[in-house]
Structures are given as structure tokens and as C-alpha cells.
């Protein structure tokens, strides 16, 4: 009975999207650093930042 209750709650959280938000919040800052690196790479590829700025930002992260 208890297992069924847990499954129902998990399915509800999955359908509402709250489960994904909870998992992301548990992952912490690692995800934010990866997102920052990805944005820096995109800006460098577009030519919005110079190679020197790119290297300095990568060193910081």
C-alpha cells in the first residue's frame, strides 16, 4: 500500500514537472557552471568575445 502511494505521488510530480525541478535543485551549482561554460562557448563561436576574453573567462570557471 505504501509503495503504491509513493508511485502515485511520483507520477503526479512527473506529470506536473515538479519532479524535474526537484532533481535540478538537488544537483546544485554544477549545472550552473556548465551552463555558463556553454554560453561562453557560444559567444566565442559567434565572435562576440575575443580569444583573450574567452581564455580569461575559462580560467575563472
The pLDDT of residue 29 is 59
The pLDDT of residue 32 is 75
Q: Is 47 helix (H, G, I), strand (E, B) or coil?
A: coil
- Please, what sign has the CA dihedral across residues 23, 27, 32, 35? negative
Instruction: Provide the whole-model pTM.
Output: 0.50
1-60: pLDDT as tens digits: 889 988 888 888 888 888 778 777 777 656 677 888 889 999 999 999 999 999 998 888
Query: Which helix (H) or strand (E) is 34 found in, with range?
Result: helix 29-46
CB 58 within 8 A of CB 30: no
* 3 vs 15: CA distance, rounded Å: 18
- Please, what sign has the CA dihedral across residues 30, 35, 41, 43? negative
Amino acid at each position: 500500500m505504501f509503495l503504491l502511494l509513493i508511485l502515485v505521488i511520483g507520477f503526479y510530480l512527473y506529470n506536473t514537472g515538479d519532479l524535474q525541478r526537484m532533481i535540478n535543485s538537488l544537483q546544485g551549482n554544477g549545472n550552473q557552471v556548465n551552463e555558463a561554460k556553454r554560453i561562453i562557448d557560444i559567444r566565442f563561436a559567434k565572435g562576440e568575445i575575443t580569444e583573450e576574453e574567452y581564455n580569461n573567462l575559462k580560467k575563472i570557471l
